[in-house]
A and B are shown apart, each in its own frame.
Chain A
Amino acid sequence: MSDIQLSHIDHAYGGQTVLRDFTHTFAGGKITCILGPSGCGKTTVLRLIAGLEAPGNGSIVVNDERVTENGKILVPAYKRRTGFIFQDLALWPHFTVYQNVAFGLNEHHAKNVGQKVKDMLDLFNLSNEQKKYPHQLSGGQKQMVAIARSLVLRPQALLMDEPLANIDIQVKSRILEHLLSIHQADPFTIIYVTHDHKEALDIGNSIVVMNQGNIIASGNSEEIIHSQHIFLKSFIKT
């Protein structure tokens, strides 16, 4: 499982800088949580890795391949073998659960699409819901479909942008447990964006803390908890 490397990334929206000389290597096969307050640039990091945007400067390497360099997208999003779970889940409302999960496989001309979708729906206990449309599902089921839709493509990296922000704590821990057990059985890289430090400390093998477009600390849970950085201490306290 290869690392994801971001080197000297600068990025701005309408003249406002969101990332400044951002450099970090996300370890392959591990769960890295990006933690930070709203507007610190954590979602932008995910979007740049996914290929949904091109950075103003710097380069990104995904799966040993240079995917962007100096403002140019060299490999488009759909060829990067990464999955993205959006904050609003982005389930296509005109597709059923089955069609949402199968769409990517069909676009990649995969073989045995039916079987692969069935296996994935079984894994997430969604077999009985496959003919339903997104609006007919509960909040937890929608999260499951979004994760299943990404994992069915066997991505090298799963990028998760606060996907569990708006659901109750019981459903949230059930989904996380399920995701972690799948990850344990067949490790892949997960980059998980959150502003909830407890969640980050619970699930991350390593944690990257960001503020104002820069990394201010990184390491495992212990290192983060015992960091003497003033911002980090106040952020974790709150």
Chain B
Amino acid sequence: MGRAINKYVIHNLLTLVLLLLLLVPVLMVLVQWLLNAGKINAISFLDRGALLLIVNSLLLSATVALLATLIGTACGFFLYKTHLKGRRLYLLLLIVPILISPYIFAVAWKDLLFLLFGSTASAFSTAGVIAVHTLIYFPLALLITGNALTNISSSLEEAGLMVTSFRKMIFKIVLPLIRPAFMSSFLLILVFSLGDFSVPAFFGIKTFTVEIFTQFSAFYNYDAAITKSLLLVGVCLILLLSEARYLSGAAFFSISTRGSNSKIYEMSGIGYVHHTSFAILIILSMLMPVFILLYQSLSGREIVIDSAWKLLKPAVFQSIKLAFWGALLISIIGLYAGYWQERLKSPFTNVLLLILFILPSTILGIAFIRFYNQPETGFIYSSLFIVLLGYIGKYGFIASRITGNGIRQIPVSLEEAAEVSGVRPVNKFIKILLPLLSPSLFVSFVLTFVLCLGELGTTIMVYPPGTELMPVKIFTISANAPQALTSSMALISLLITFFFIILFFMAGRVMFKKNSDE
């Protein structure tokens, strides 16, 4: 009884700390706005122009979400449900773009449009935003729908094949069965695209998020920024509310391979079509950005890589250091939230992280600035801790789901066996659960490290004076520097990200090969 009470006290205490540090700032903005709504004449900020802008932003993001989900689902089918040769390599190469900060792609694509058309006129820029967002986010749809496809019992598909053709079976049995995953993928990408500020800002496209950032950072019109932010939060919450139940348990990055009971199809005869399609996708999403950045960096009258490195060097080391601490903190919080969600059926922390996860990064930034830029909380505002809080808010949910999914795959009986053998709860956790969970914790750390390394949306709003971080440095310098310098800095940033992805990939292989040998 006493131990149970202790558990709940500890849990509630930690959840309370997270609630205070992360969600209260957002709620305070809402409360302050409600109290002042009459005085500031909030409705005046939501004029016809603002509403038109949100409709246009929604249309742009819906196009992205539809394209990304369709491409991701098609890729998911061929990579998870067929014997296509090289599918593991394709999968690995296709999911890399999701680990790379969107602004790097934006720089590369902007360069490409400039090279092709000699300008980055508005029409091309809109296409550029759609192309970049689609290429960044389709791997998310691939992972979500791919995971759903592997969870369909083979007999359901075979029962369909007994009465109808393969094509009809796919449309009438398989696709309806993965509808929740398809919808979640669509809505998640819609919200991500809607909330992303970096890509439209690089292309000079005015979206609702860019407008909020401009009102806040350029015009210091806090009331307009907050009023518009709350409208955007409302739209995001409405969009995701219907799928919240599915999302709160979503696996996202499952470290398990395809399900043992999943039906796998032979794709004889048309393999070259698939190989060509995958090659085009990999060129567009991976190779082309690298090539363009490289070309822009080296084709100028003078080689600017050297000066780009000199400018970026202090930011690189600070970014790596901060990403490391961010990933470590996030992985611990993810373990905590995942454990309570999966084992103790207490979803509060997970739901808290889900709410923060779906908030656009600029809104999180505004909330943190408003809340922490006070005499009582100024020590947080002026330290790097505020950036770490931003990272936790953005990526805590991803870590929670990766770890939670890992915990779900460990039979409870393994812990119970330790319990009845008289193993103390601490030892049960350290000696039984943690070793079994180490692959999930590793994936959680690696993924959040790479994401933190490239985070721009919240970081650009909250980074304290005197701090230099890689994404912020590139973004701020891009406004006035020659294009070749921006491209060189983006290339360096991309190579650093690749370096860590390869390093962690190799470390993972060594670590978990050793485990399986044992």
- Measured CB to CB, the residues of A under 8 A from B are 50-52, 76-78, 82-84, 86-90, 92-94, 103-104, 107-108, 149-150, 153
B159 part of interface (Cβ distance < 8 Å): yes
Q: Would you give 20 A-B contacts (Cβ < 8 Å), ordered by A?
A: A52-B158, A52-B162, A76-B165, A76-B166, A77-B158, A77-B161, A78-B162, A83-B162, A84-B158, A84-B159, A84-B162, A87-B155, A88-B153, A88-B155, A90-B159, A92-B173, A94-B176, A94-B179, A104-B164, A153-B163
Q: Which residue of A83, A86, A94, A153 contacts B155 across the interface (Cβ within 8 Å)?
A: A86
When A90-B155, A92-B156, A93-B177 are in contact, do A107 and B162 touch as well, CB less than 8 Å? Answer: no
By size class, the interface of chain B is 10 to 19
Q: Which of B155, B156, B159, B163 has the most CB of A within 10 A?
A: B159
What residue of chain B has the Cβ atom nearest to residue A94's Cβ?
B176
CB distance from A106 to the nearest CB of B (A): 9
Which residues of chain B come closer than 8 Å to A93, judged between CB atoms?
Answer: 156, 177
CB distance from A162 to the nearest CB of B (A): 12
In the bound assembly, the distance between CA atoms of A87 and B261 in angstroms comes to 13
What is the number of contacts between chain A and chain B, taking CB atoms within 8 Å? 57
- Asked if B159 contacts A107 (CB within 8 A), the reply is no
CB distance from B264 to the nearest CB of A (A): 11
When A92-B173, A93-B177, A94-B176 are in contact, do A104 and B163 touch as well, CB less than 8 Å? Answer: yes
Which residues of chain B come closer than 8 Å to A84, judged between CB atoms?
Answer: 158-159, 162
Interface of B: prevailing SS = helix
What residue of chain A has the Cβ atom nearest to residue B266's Cβ?
A54
- Asked if A92 contacts B163 (CB within 8 A), the reply is no
In the bound assembly, the distance between CA atoms of A50 and B159 in angstroms comes to 10
In the bound assembly, the distance between CA atoms of A76 and B161 in angstroms comes to 8
Which residues of chain A come closer than 8 Å to B173, judged between CB atoms?
Answer: 92
B168 part of interface (Cβ distance < 8 Å): yes
Q: Which 7 A-B pairs have the closest CB atoms?
A: A104-B163, A90-B155, A90-B159, A107-B164, A86-B155, A77-B161, A94-B176
- Asked if A78 contacts B164 (CB within 8 A), the reply is yes
- Asked if A50 contacts B163 (CB within 8 A), the reply is no
List 12 additional A-B contacts (Cβ < 8 Å) besides A90-B153, A93-B156: A52-B162, A76-B166, A78-B161, A78-B164, A78-B165, A83-B162, A86-B158, A92-B156, A92-B173, A93-B177, A104-B163, A107-B168
Which residues of chain B come closer than 8 Å to A107, judged between CB atoms?
Answer: 163-164, 168
CB distance from B116 to the nearest CB of A (A): 45
- Asked if B156 contacts A90 (CB within 8 A), the reply is yes
- Asked if B161 contacts A52 (CB within 8 A), the reply is yes
Which residues of chain A come closer than 8 Å to B161, judged between CB atoms?
Answer: 51-52, 76-78
Which residues of chain B come closer than 8 Å to A76, judged between CB atoms?
Answer: 161, 165-166
